[in-house]
């Protein structure tokens, strides 16, 4: 999918020069996939945060988006996107829409992104951003992400943008049997580890991609 982001170009700390600096930062921190770097330079991260903090949008830092939630570090978004692209997914389920930034990045790299948010305010705000941008291959849902989206399963990949207490087996069940991948922060001995779980013919294999820090994956929905 291709979107013209020129109308969202900013000035000062939200200008293209700030985005270029961010991309150099990502490269220096090990992000090598040219597709990911290109998309993250294009997507205007400043429109996903409040205008009052938009000057920090291209810093490599998490930023508040309300309801005690954050938009992830650009490095984490790039890393998770790079990992998830390795099995060439066409249909991805995202658990935790948040600001909508990760979903938009993914939508420019795969055919369809299904995304679930448990906080109604964030669901509404992200839907409005998707509409404003003109993205048409993101399918948002207000629901408890722990349940996944059985009606749309199986998925080539599932990406979880909140820290799970243990392996979310309910989501694993919704992966494709043919090299489906779940990417999630999972707690182990008091720390969160970013793990990819690959499913082939109901057999699971695990790979650890380092220590991360995400808001917790919670049950239920809220306004």
Find residue 216's DSSP bridge partners. Answer: 163
The C-alpha atoms of residue 58 and residue 40 are separated, in whole angstroms, by 10
What Rg, from alpha-carbon coordinates, does the chain have?
A: 16
Residues assigned a catalytic role: 72
Residue 3: pLDDT band with limits 50, 70, 90: confident
Is residue 17 assigned to a domain? no
The C-alpha atoms of residue 221 and residue 223 are separated, in whole angstroms, by 7
Residue 5: pLDDT band with limits 50, 70, 90: confident
Looking at residue 17, its pLDDT comes to 87
Find residue 105's DSSP bridge partners. Answer: none
Is residue 33 assigned to a domain? no
Whole-structure pTM value: 0.96
Is residue 136 assigned to a domain? yes
Residue 15 pLDDT exceeds 80: no
Is residue 124 assigned to a domain? yes
Is residue 199 assigned to a domain? yes
Is residue 132 assigned to a domain? yes
Which residue, among 152, 125, 157, 158, has the nearest Cα to 139 in the 3D structure?
A: 152
Q: Region 183-212: what's the mean pLDDT?
A: 96
Q: Which whole-number Å values give the CA distances from 80 to 69, 83, 102, in the listed order? A: 18, 5, 9
Is residue 152 assigned to a domain? yes
Q: What residues make up the domain containing 194?
A: 63-212
């Amino acid at each position: 999918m291709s979107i013209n982001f020129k109308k969202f170009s900013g000035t000062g700390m939200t200008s293209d020069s700030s985005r270029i600096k961010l991309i150099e930062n990502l490269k220096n921190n090990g992000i090598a996939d040219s597709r990911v770097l290109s998309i993250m330079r294009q997507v205007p991260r400043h429109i996903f945060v409040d205008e009052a903090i938009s000057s920090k949008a291209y810093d490599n830092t998490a930023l508040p988006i309300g309801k005690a939630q954050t938009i992830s570090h650009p490095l984490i978004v790039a890393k998770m996107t790079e990992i998830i692209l390795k099995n060439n997914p066409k249909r991805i389920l995202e658990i935790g829409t948040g600001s909508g930034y990760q979903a938009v990045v993914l939508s420019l790299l795969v055919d369809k992104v299904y995304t679930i948010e448990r906080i109604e305010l964030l669901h509404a705000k992200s839907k409005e951003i998707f509409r404003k941008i003109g993205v048409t291959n993101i399918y948002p849902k207000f629901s408890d992400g722990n349940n996944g989206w059985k009606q749309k399963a199986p998925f080539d990949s599932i990406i979880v943008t909140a820290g799970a207490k243990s392996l979310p087996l309910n989501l694993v069940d919704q992966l494709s049997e043919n090299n489906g991948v779940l990417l999630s922060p999972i707690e182990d001995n008091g720390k969160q580890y970013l793990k990819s779980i690959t499913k082939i013919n109901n057999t699971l294999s695990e790979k650890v991609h380092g220590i991360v820090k995400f808001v917790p994956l919670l049950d239920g929905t809220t306004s």
